[in-house]
Structure 1
Amino acid sequence: MMKNLNKWGLSIIMVFLFACCTEKVGGDFVDPSPDGSGNGGGGNPLYDAKTYKEKSKAVFDHIIKHYSVNGTNYFLENYPKQGGDRPVAYFWSHSTLFTGAIWQLALGYNDPSIQKVINGLDEYWDVNRTPFAFQSYPNEFGGGDRFYDDNAIAGLDDVLAYEVTNQPSFLRRAEDALAFDMSGESMDQGGGIFWSEQLRLNNPGNPNTVKAANATALSALLALKLYKITNKPQYLEFAQRIYTWNKNKLQDPADKNYWNDVHAVTGVINKMKWAYNSGAMISNAVLLYEITGNVEHLNEAKSVARASYNHFTHDVPGVGKFFPSHDPYFTMHLLRGYLDLYEVDKNPEYINTLIMNVDYAWKSARNSAGFFLEDWSGKTRGREAWLINQTCMVEIYALISDFKRE
Structure 2
Amino acid sequence: MIPAKYKTLLFAFVLVIYQLPQKIVAQNYEHLANNLHKQIQKHFYLPRGVYYREFADSVAPQHKVSYLWSLCALWQADNEMEKLLPRGNLLRKDFSVIEKYNDNAAPAPGFDSYPGEFKKEDRYYDDNQWIGLTAMDAYKRTNQQFYLNVGEKIYRFMMTGFDTVSGGGLYWKEGDKSTKNTCSNGPGIILALQLYQATKKQTYLDTALMLYGWVNKHLEAPTGLYYDNLKITSNTVAKYQFSYNTGTMLQSNVYLYECTRQQKYLNEANRIADASLNYFYAKGMFRDDYWFNAVLLRAYQQLLKYNPDKRYILAFKNCVDNALHNDVNANGLMGKTKSLNLVAQGGMLEILARFAWMQKMHYF
Is the TM value for this pair above 0.5? yes
Matched, 1:70 2:47: yes
Q: What percent identity do the matched residue pairs reach?
A: 30
Matched, 1:396 2:351: yes
Matched, 1:137 2:114: yes
Q: Contact between 1:192 and 1:245, CA under 8 Å: does it hold in 2?
A: yes
Cα distance in 2 for partners of 1:112, 1:220 equals 28
**Which one of the candidate residues 212, 217, 221 is aligned to 1:243?**
212
Match of 1:345 in 2: 307
Matched, 1:356 2:318: yes
Match of 2:244 in 1: 276
Cα distance in 2 for partners of 1:189, 1:152 equals 22
Give 1:385 deviation, angstroms.
2.7
**Which one of the candidate residues 114, 126, 150 is aligned to 1:149?**
126
Match of 1:7 in 2: none
Structure 1 spans left out of the alignment, 5+ residues:
1-48, 201-208, 316-320
Give 1:115 deviation, angstroms.
4.1
Matched, 1:230 2:193: no
Cα distance in 1 for partners of 2:179, 2:87 equals 41
**Which one of the candidate residues 210, 223, 234 is aligned to 1:266?**
234
Q: Contact between 1:73 and 1:116, CA under 8 Å: does it hold in 2?
A: no
3-state SS, counterpart of residue 343 of structure 1: coil
Match of 2:14 in 1: none
TM-score normalised by length of structure 1: 0.79
Deviations 1:150-193 (A, max 9, x none): 11111001112223333212111111101111221111111111
Match of 2:84 in 1: 107
Give the residue type in structure 1 aligned to 2:274: R
3-state SS, counterpart of residue 259 of structure 1: coil
Give 1:363 deviation, angstroms.
3.3
Match of 1:42 in 2: none
Q: Contact between 1:188 and 1:265, CA under 8 Å: does it hold in 2?
A: no
**Which one of the candidate residues 213, 216, 224 is aligned to 2:185?**
216
Give 1:117 deviation, angstroms.
2.1
Match of 1:308 in 2: 276
Q: Contact between 1:67 and 1:78, CA under 8 Å: does it hold in 2?
A: yes
**Structure 1 residues 239, 108: closer, same or farther in 2, change over 3 A?**
same
Cα distance in 1 for partners of 2:282, 2:307 equals 24
Cα distance in 1 for partners of 2:289, 2:360 equals 27
Give 1:345 deviation, angstroms.
0.8
Deviations 1:248-302 (A, max 9, x none): 111012x011110011222111111111111111111111112212111111111
Match of 1:369 in 2: 331
Cα distance in 2 for partners of 1:265, 1:94 equals 32
Q: Contact between 2:82 and 2:89, CA under 8 Å: does it hold in 1?
A: no
Deviations 1:75-134 (A, max 9, x none): 110111104441100000022112222222221254576643231111112113331111
Cα distance in 2 for partners of 1:58, 1:118 equals 22
Cα distance in 2 for partners of 1:371, 1:285 equals 34
3-state SS, counterpart of residue 87 of structure 1: coil
Match of 1:55 in 2: 32
Give the residue type in structure 2 aligned to 1:76: R
Deviations 1:26-63 (A, max 9, x none): xxxxxxxxxxxxxxxxxxxxxxx963222222211110
**Which one of the candidate residues 66, 71, 78 is aligned to 1:94?**
71
Q: Contact between 1:67 and 1:76, CA under 8 Å: does it hold in 2?
A: yes
Match of 2:18 in 1: none
Q: Contact between 1:223 and 1:236, CA under 8 Å: does it hold in 2?
A: yes
Give the residue type in structure 1 aligned to 2:356: S
Match of 1:39 in 2: none
**Structure 1 residues 332, 112: closer, same or farther in 2, change over 3 A?**
closer
Q: Contact between 2:80 and 2:353, CA under 8 Å: does it hold in 1?
A: yes
Q: Contact between 2:39 and 2:331, CA under 8 Å: does it hold in 1?
A: no
Cα distance in 1 for partners of 2:37, 2:90 equals 9
Cα distance in 2 for partners of 1:155, 1:52 equals 27
**Structure 1 residues 68, 241: closer, same or farther in 2, change over 3 A?**
same
1:6-25 aligned within 5 A:
none
3-state SS, counterpart of residue 316 of structure 2: helix
Deviations 1:227-249 (A, max 9, x none): 00110100000000110110111
Give 1:341 deviation, angstroms.
1.3
Give 1:314 deviation, angstroms.
4.5
Q: Contact between 1:193 and 1:211, CA under 8 Å: does it hold in 2?
A: yes
Cα distance in 2 for partners of 1:291, 1:83 equals 43
Q: Contact between 2:196 and 2:202, CA under 8 Å: does it hold in 1?
A: yes
Question: How many aligned residue pairs are there?
Answer: 336
**Which one of the candidate residues 285, 293, 310 is aligned to 1:322?**
285
**Is the deviation greater in 161-170 or in 93-102?**
161-170
Deviations 1:2-38 (A, max 9, x none): xxxxxxxxxxxxxxxxxxxxxxxxxxxxxxxxxxxxx
**Structure 1 residues 403, 112: closer, same or farther in 2, change over 3 A?**
closer
**Structure 1 residues 62, 351: closer, same or farther in 2, change over 3 A?**
same
Q: Contact between 1:133 and 1:146, CA under 8 Å: does it hold in 2?
A: yes
Q: Contact between 1:104 and 1:114, CA under 8 Å: does it hold in 2?
A: no
Q: Contact between 1:60 and 1:100, CA under 8 Å: does it hold in 2?
A: no
TM-score normalised by length of structure 2: 0.87
- RMSD of equivalent CA atoms: 1.9
Cα distance in 1 for partners of 2:92, 2:81 equals 11
Give the residue type in structure 2 aligned to 1:322: M
